[in-house]
């Protein structure tokens, strides 16, 4: 054998052995020492490609092997033509914003709940971040995005928070109609499906972060994808100082741009990670779905919302804590070594950064805000109320694909335990604290109201006085008029409220400029007074019953509709804490199929000799008086009513029934009994009982009790606010309606529907059989 032959053979043996030896060595090395438990994103695959990069004696990405291959493979995996690698998620977004070539002062709309990495690129490019509020998915509310669009808007950055998609159908439509670019910040949503597509590939640009905590990671790194060739060309230059390396002579920098070049080391790790990411996110999604099923059964907690049409891939698992301090709950979980972030970023991003809150950008210049002295860009509390409230309630669990289903069970158990030990404070219905912070603005949104809401109370009996006392604690309200046919009563109430007395609503209308009125007169007068008020453009909160007949109720709702003026029935139970909690549990389906329910609103109340028993004033007996509350509660918690049959006890000499029982059947088939009485005591401490095949709920004025399958012990959620506070919440809801703020919980149609059921109940007394409620609307 010649020397040459021997060397050649040895080379061949080395070539043959190199791959298996490298494999073996990498596996041994990655298995040796280091972190053995928990999340271990890196393995032999990464090390092998790292060795190859180093062995190539070049770590510079441009013209290298790993970075171009990573970009090609990433684009292929996402099904898009182009991808550009960079040094971080922030850089990836900067590439997209850079490709738009903003003019200083252009506006970019984005989400208030995100990492500062979404915002920095806007400011660096001279753009002005504009924040739209979120909706129940914790991502951008498309309606608010559209409201925030101006002639200066150039782009929307949609943040797919925690791995949950924005409503991309709506946002794509808005972006197209207003001709603005749509950038997807998919830093937290890798390989996440949305209506047959992948997040990041729906808008004009998709931006990904490979920071250590992300589903695929290179420690730090980023990628921007696009289908637009021109944008791709610009991003390829933008990542490299604008340097046109080919075709422009020895040195040509075509525009102002940073250096965000990815190195071969990052490209190598990225390529290995890309092969794993689908498996990682699918496992995170599986564990997340298990968590949702567990959290749904824990009273006081809400699981992560999932946007319709999307899968959630849980970069974090956000739990909404109804009541209690999420900070203390986080501490309790940390003691059990469960990694959590109470409140995620704590406050909306516009309050976290001095470059927004104090506009401290470049020296003392306040640039680019200084370019627009005509526009007041204020980054202050109240800018996105829903986001601000959401962050107070969220407890974010750092999700981990290395967990097993048993780990998830342990986390859920710890959550339940931590929740039990903390005092509940928050409610699902509008809170007073929240409302106090609200500055009234007219629904037209053209500036702030200079005055507090000017409110009148018509009818100064017991109920009118409740309204009056509750308005007095609302800082947004000024009571200006108290009206009663009894002049002495009107004067007494007016003095108490610091308002002017009137003896007729017409005199009040002539004498006052009103923003709203509580109508608390006897029911037979509601129709006439409400029509006058609505005709004068004054919104009405009308005590129950809305009217004494369906025809009148329909006419009132139609007038409110025609005049575009608010008419709200006073169904106060919707604002009770225990009712809000019950609705929470019922919408999550924790009781399973609803089988039966029972409502008990009973006296005795001393109504003899009062207007209550005079049909010409009251319109009916206890069915007309308390029936609307019962019917509304059933509709609010359990759904629409199919039919109703009433039985009454009518003692000698009574004009109207003081005691009644309604048999109610729901559209879904469940049946229930409603006992109403001014004379007979309630046979149970609970006023509402609901029974399902997987649990039962009992509601009383002090709280809620529940028991779930396998029918272990009863649990109790006591109320933390009084009935007076619940009543005040109802009025605050009305006041919110006057300023165009807050969620609408009740409307005129609810009053009309309740009236239709009251009418059906009385009709059943005549027919002797169950009667379906007449259509709430007049047939045209
Ligand atoms: C939603 C979102 N956008 C942008 C970024 C910025 O990414 P990076 O930290 O890689 O710059 C992050 C990072 O956490 C993020 O979560």
Q: Please write the tens of the pLDDT for every residue from 520-546.
A: 999 999 999 999 999 999 999 999 999
* pLDDT of res. 421: 65
pLDDT digit string (tens) for 302-320? Answer: 999 999 999 999 999 999 9
The reply to whether ligand 1 has any atom less than 6 angstroms from the CB of 159 is yes
Category of 84 on φ-ψ map: left (φ > 0), alpha (ψ -120 to 50) or beta: beta
Three-state DSSP at 743 gives coil
Report the residue among 89, 118, 163 best suited for mutation to probe ligand 1: largest number of ligand atoms under 8 A from its CB.
89
Residue 716 banded pLDDT, cuts 50, 70, 90: confident
The dihedral built from the CA positions of residue 232, 238, 239 and 240, taken in this order, carries a sign that is positive
pLDDT > 90? residue 185: yes
pTM: 0.59
Whether pLDDT at 46 is above 60: yes
| Strand ranges inside 593-694, DSSP E | 594-602, 641-649, 659-666, 671-677, 688-692
Pocket test for ligand 1, best of 86, 97, 111, 117 (most atoms within 8 A of CB): 117
Q: Mean pLDDT, to the nearest integer, of 403-413? A: 95
Cβ of 224 closer than 6 Å to ligand 1, yes or no, is: no
Sheet of 688-692, strands arranged across: 641-649, 659-666, 671-677, 594-602, 688-692, 695-700, 703-708, 715-718
Q: Which one is predicted more confidently, 335 or 232? A: 232
Question: For residue 435, what pLDDT is reported?
Answer: 29
572 pLDDT above the threshold of 80: yes
Instruction: For ligand 1, say whether the CB of 90 is within 6 Å of any of its atoms.
Output: yes
Report CA torsion sign: 228, 230, 231, 232: positive
Tell me the average pLDDT of the chain: 91
Give the range among 132-141, 441-450, 683-692 with minimum mean pLDDT.
Answer: 441-450
218 lines ligand 1 (CB under 6 A): no
* Tally of CA atoms within 13 A in the half-sphere of 421 that contains its CB: 12
Q: Where are the beta strands (DSSP E) in 391-476?
A: 394-398, 453-458
- How high is the pLDDT of residue 602? 87
Q: Average pLDDT, stretch 325-348?
A: 91
The secondary structure of the chain in percent helix, strand, coil, rounded to multiples of 5, reads 40, 20, 40
Q: Is 293 within 8 Å of 306 (Cβ atoms)?
A: no
Q: Provide the pLDDT for residue 779.
A: 41
Residue nearest to atom 12 of ligand 1 (CA): 115
| Whether residue 185 has its Cβ less than 6 Å from ligand 1 | yes
Beta-carbon contacts of residue 186 (< 8 Å; ≥ 6 apart): 160, 192, 199, 200, 206, 207, 208
Which protein residue has the closest C-alpha to ligand 1 atom 5? 117
Radius of gyration of the chain (CA): 32
pLDDT in tens, 338-378: 999 999 999 999 999 999 999 999 999 999 999 988 887 88
Give bridge partners of residue 184 from the DSSP assignment: 158, 206
pLDDT of residue 33: 67
Tell me the per-residue pLDDT of 115-150, one tens digit each, with 9 for 90 and over.
999 999 999 999 999 999 999 999 999 999 999 999
For ligand 1, say whether the CB of 209 is within 6 Å of any of its atoms: yes
């Amino acid at each position: 054998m010649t020397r040459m032959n021997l060397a050649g053979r040895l080379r061949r043996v080395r070539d043959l052995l190199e791959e298996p030896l490298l494999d073996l060595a990498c596996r041994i090395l990655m298995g040796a020492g280091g972190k053995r438990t928990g999340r271990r994103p890196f393995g032999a695959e990464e090390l092998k490609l790292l060795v190859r990069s180093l062995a190539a004696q070049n770590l510079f990405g441009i013209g290298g092997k790993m970075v171009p291959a990573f970009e090609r493979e990433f684009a292929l995996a996402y099904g898009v033509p182009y991808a550009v690698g960079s040094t971080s998620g922030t850089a990836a977004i900067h590439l997209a914003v850079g490709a738009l070539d903003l003019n200083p002062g252009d506006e970019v709309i984005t989400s208030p709940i995100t990492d500062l990495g979404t915002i920095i690129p806007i400011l660096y490019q001279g753009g002005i971040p504009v924040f739209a509020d979120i909706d129940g998915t914790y991502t951008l509310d498309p309606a608010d995005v559209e409201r925030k669009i101006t002639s200066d808007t150039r782009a929307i950055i949609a943040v797919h928070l925690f791995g949950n998609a924005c409503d991309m159908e709506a946002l794509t439509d808005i972006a197209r109609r207003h001709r603005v670019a749509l950038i997807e910040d998919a830093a937290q949503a890798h390989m996440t499906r949305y209506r047959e597509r992948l997040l990041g590939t729906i808008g004009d640009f998709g931006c990904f972060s490979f920071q250590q905590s992300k589903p695929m990671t290179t420690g730090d790194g980023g990628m921007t994808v696009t289908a637009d060739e021109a944008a791709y060309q610009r991003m390829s230059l933008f990542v490299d100082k604008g340097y046109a390396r080919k075709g422009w002579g020895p040195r040509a920098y075509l525009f102002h741009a940073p250096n965000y070049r990815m190195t071969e080391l990052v490209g190598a790790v990225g390529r290995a990670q890309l092969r794993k990411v689908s498996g990682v996110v699918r496992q995170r999604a599986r564990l997340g779905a298990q968590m949702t099923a567990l959290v749904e059964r824990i009273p006081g907690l809400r699981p992560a919302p999932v946007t319709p049409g999307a899968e959630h891939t849980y970069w974090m698992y956000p739990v909404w804590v109804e009541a209690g301090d999420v900070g203390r709950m986080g501490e309790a979980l940390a003691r059990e070594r469960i990694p959590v972030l109470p409140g995620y970023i704590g406050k909306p991003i516009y309050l976290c950064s001095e470059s927004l809150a104090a506009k401290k950008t470049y020296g003392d210049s306040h640039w680019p805000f200084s370019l627009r002295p005509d526009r007041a860009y204020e980054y202050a509390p109240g800018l996105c109320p829903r986001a601000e409230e959401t962050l107070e309630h969220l407890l974010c669990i750092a999700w981990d694909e290395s967990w097993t289903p048993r780990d998830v069970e342990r986390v859920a158990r710890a959550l339940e335990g931590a929740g039990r030990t903390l005092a509940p404070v928050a409610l699902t219905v509008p809170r007073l604290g929240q409302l106090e912070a609200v500055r009234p603005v007219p629904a037209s949104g053209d500036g702030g109201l200079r005055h507090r809401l000017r409110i009148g109370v018509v009818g100064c009996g017991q109920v009118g006085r409740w309204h009056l006392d509750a308005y007095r604690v609302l800082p947004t309200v000024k009571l200006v008029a108290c009206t009663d046919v009894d002049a002495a009563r009107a004067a007494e109430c007016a003095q108490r409220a610091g308002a002017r007395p009137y003896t007729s609503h017409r005199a009040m209308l002539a004498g006052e400029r009103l923003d709203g009125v509580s109508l608390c007169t006897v029911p037979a007068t509601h129709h006439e007074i409400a029509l006058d008020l609505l005709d004068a453009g004054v919104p009405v909160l009308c005590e129950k019953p809305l009217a004494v007949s369906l025809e009148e109720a329909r006419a009132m709702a139609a007038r409110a509709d025609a005049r575009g003026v608010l008419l709200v029935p006073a169904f106060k139970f919707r604002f009770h804490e225990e009712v809000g909690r019950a609705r929470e549990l019922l919408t999550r389906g924790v009781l399973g199929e609803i089988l039966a329910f029972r409502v008990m609103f009973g006296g005795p109340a001393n109504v003899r000799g009062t207007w209550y028993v005079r049909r010409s004033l009251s319109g009916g007996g206890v069915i007309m008086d308390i029936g609307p509350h019962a019917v509304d509660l059933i509709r609010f918690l359990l759904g629409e009513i199919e039919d109703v049959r009433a039985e009454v006890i009518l003692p000698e000499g009574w004009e109207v029934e003081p005691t009644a029982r309604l048999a109610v059947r729901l559209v879904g088939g469940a049946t229930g009994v409603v006992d109403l009485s001014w004379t007979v005591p309630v046979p149970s401490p609970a006023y509402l009982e609901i029974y399902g095949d997987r649990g039962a709920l009992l509601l009383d004025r002090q709280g809620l009790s529940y028991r779930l399958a396998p029918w272990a012990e009863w649990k109790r959620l006591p109320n933390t606010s009084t009935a007076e506070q619940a009543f005040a919440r109802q009025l605050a809801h009305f006041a919110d309606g006057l300023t165009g703020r807050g969620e609408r919980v009740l409307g005129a149609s609810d009053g009309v529907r309740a009236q239709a059921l009251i009418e059906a109940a009385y009709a059943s007394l005549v027919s002797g059989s169950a009667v379906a409620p007449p259509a709430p609307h007049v047939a045209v």
